[in-house]
Amino acid sequence: MVRYTLKHAKSFGVVTKGNSKIHGSTFSTSPFACNVGSKLVNVKGSTCEKCYAIKLAKVYPSAKDSWENNLSLWLKALDTDPMAWVESISYQIMNESKRKAKRGLKGARLHRWFAAGDLPNLDALRAIVLVAKATPNVKHWLPTREQGIVSKYLATNPEGFPENLTVRVSAAMVDGAPLDKFPCTSTVHKEQDAKGFECPAYKNGGSCGDCTACWSSKVKNVSYKIH
C-alpha cells in the first residue's frame, strides 16, 4: 500500500471520526443522490420519508458540501483509479481506529458506511469490499436500500462478503418485513413489535453505547424503533 499522509488521503474523500451516537468512524455521501432513497423519500410510510440526513443537509450547508464532495471524488476515482480510493480510505479508517484505541475511546475497530447517502453503483460496492479486505481488524457495517446492487454483487460472488463486512439490506416501508433473500437485513418498527434484534439506541439517547449488533453478521435482522 502507498504510504499516505492524512492530508493526501483526504483528497480522495473524508472519513470522519463519528459522533456521540456512532462511536466508530464513518463515510457519508449526499442523501439527495440516493438511487432508491431519493424515490422513497416521497413515499408516505417509507423508511426514507423523514430522512434525517436530508434534514441535516438543509440545516448544515458544510455537511451537505462535504457529502457531495465525497461522492464526486469517489465516482471520479471509480472511473480513473479505484485502487487509489481504496488505499486512501483504508488508510483513514485505520488511522482513526488506531487513534481511538490508543486513547481508549469507544469505536476503535468499528466503521460505518453511509451515515448519510447510499451505494451509488456496483463498482462502489466492490471498492468497499476491497477496503474491508485491506482493514481486516476493523468491523464494517454497511446499511443500504440498494437491494438491486447487493443482489448483483452476490450473484457473481457466491462466497458473499468478507467476514468483517456486514451488509444490511433495509426494508423500504415502516413495519415492513425483512427481505429474506439477504443474509443480513434491517427493519423499522412503529405500530408492530420489533422483528429480530431490537436496536436499544432509542433507550440510550440515540447512542449505540456498547452495542455492536449492527456490525455483527451473526445478527440476522436489526429492527429500529421509529423516532
Distance CA 119, CA 182 (A): 16
**Residue that is written with C-alpha cell 439490506 in the block:** 169
pTM, entire model: 0.95
- Residues of the chain scoring pLDDT < 50: 1
Question: What are the structural domain ranges in the chain?
Answer: 14-178
R_g of the chain, CA atoms, integer Å: 17
Tell me what pLDDT residue 18 has. Answer: 86
Tell me what pLDDT residue 15 has. Answer: 98
Tell me what pLDDT residue 4 has. Answer: 72
CB atoms inside a 10 Å sphere around CB 104: 7
Residue type, 121: N
